């Protein structure tokens, strides 16, 4: 009768140590993969927000009825050459920082007491404001504009403006003279034509001040949709 040979105790212990070591290694590898995945995801999100799409909150009622106070929008930052009717986010000229707005052309825009002068502002102060505005493009470089009762007449044709709030006879509603938008600039106005701090006060916006075109609204939920 052959007796079974006993397995050396040291070998059992060694196998147990190897098994535990491999388990710890796998757990550590999984943790590292998770950390790297989260880091890459966060990095991509930051890059997308910085260079591609960025959310903004509407700070005023100047774009009513299209955009309400507190509404959230997404802006495509790769598009800085908007077209007529686009809703854009931008930095205004420095004139927007000065009281009720200041035009580089003293004969246009508004007087110190708030009265409308002959024409809306067609020449902005040279420097850029750090404020962020959202308005609608109503004039492209070289366009001839006239504003009558809040409606924009562009190159002899009135804009299709079913989206605006009626001006209501405010001083900024009507100007007796036309202006020409300078080369490289865009003319911006809020949809709430009687209550909007826009290009009429501080002039056209240079293309380099434009952050991007708004393309979608995601909050509140009952206003979700494309712009």
Catalytic residues: 62, 135
Residue with tokens 């709030």: 165
Query: Is the separation of the CB atoms in 195 and 62 below 8 Å?
Result: yes
Is the bond leading into 220 cis (omega within 30 degrees of zero)?
Answer: yes
Spell out the residues 6+ positions from residue 57 whose beta carbon is closer than 8 angstroms to its own.
70, 71, 72
Q: How many CB atoms lie within 10 A of CB 111?
A: 11
d(CA 120, CA 185): 15
Eight-class DSSP state of 128: B
Query: Is the separation of the CB atoms in 117 and 173 below 8 Å?
Result: no
Residue with tokens 């826009």: 198
């Amino acid at each position: 009768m052959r007796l079974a040979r006993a397995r050396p105790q040291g070998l059992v212990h060694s196998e147990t140590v190897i098994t535990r070591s491999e388990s710890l290694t796998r757990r550590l590898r999984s943790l590292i993969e998770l950390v790297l995945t989260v880091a890459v995801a966060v990095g991509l999100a930051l890059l997308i927000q910085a260079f591609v799409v960025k959310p903004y909150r509407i700070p005023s009622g100047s774009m009513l009825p299209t955009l309400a106070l507190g509404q959230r929008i997404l802006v495509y930052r790769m598009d800085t050459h908007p077209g007529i009717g686009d809703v854009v986010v931008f930095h205004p000229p420095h004139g927007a920082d000065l009281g009720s707005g200041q035009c580089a052309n003293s004969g246009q825009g508004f007087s110190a007491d708030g009265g409308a002068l002959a024409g809306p502002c067609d020449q902005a102060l040279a420097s850029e404001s750090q404020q962020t505005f959202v308005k609608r493009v109503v004039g492209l470089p070289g366009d001839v504009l006239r504003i009558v009762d809040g409606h924009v007449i562009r190159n002899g044709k009135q804009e299709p403006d079913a989206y605006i709030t009626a001006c209501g006879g405010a001083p900024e509603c009507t100007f007796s003279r036309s202006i020409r938008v300078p080369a490289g600039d865009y003319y911006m106005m809020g949809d709430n034509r009687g209550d909007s701090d826009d290009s009429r006060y501080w002039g056209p916006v240079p293309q380099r001040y434009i952050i991007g075109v708004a393309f979608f609204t995601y909050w509140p939920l009952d206003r979700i949709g494309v712009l």
